[in-house]
Amino acid sequence: MRPEKLHAGISAMSKQTQLWVARADDVPVPDELLTRADVARICKVSPLTIIRLEQAGKLEVLRLGAGSVRIRRSSLEKFLTESITHPTAN
C-alpha cells in the first residue's frame, strides 16, 4: 500500500473516531452506585462512620432490601462539597 493511501485511511478513521467520541459525550452517564465500603475507602474513614452519616441524614442512600444499601457518587460528591464549604463546628 502506498504511504499516501495509508495516511488518508488513518486520517479518515481519526475523524470517525472523533465523531463517535463527540456523540458519546452527549449521552448522560448513569450515576455510579457505591457500597459503604467503597465510600469509606474514598473518604478514608471507617464503614461505621458512613453508617453514622446515613443515620444523621447527612448522606443519602438507596435501600435495596435485606440491609443492603448503595450510595450514589453524586450524593457523596454533594456531601463532600457541603462539608468543605460549610464545616460543622465542634
Per-residue model confidence (pLDDT) at position 51: 94
* Cα 11 off chain centre by: 33
Per-residue model confidence (pLDDT) at position 66: 87
* Cα 9 off chain centre by: 36
Per-residue model confidence (pLDDT) at position 65: 85
pTM tops 0.75: no
Per-residue model confidence (pLDDT) at position 26: 54
Domain-wise residue ranges, the chain = 1-28, 33-85
Q: What is the mean pLDDT of each run of 10 residues along the chain (90 residues)?
A: 47 48 53 90 93 93 89 90 72
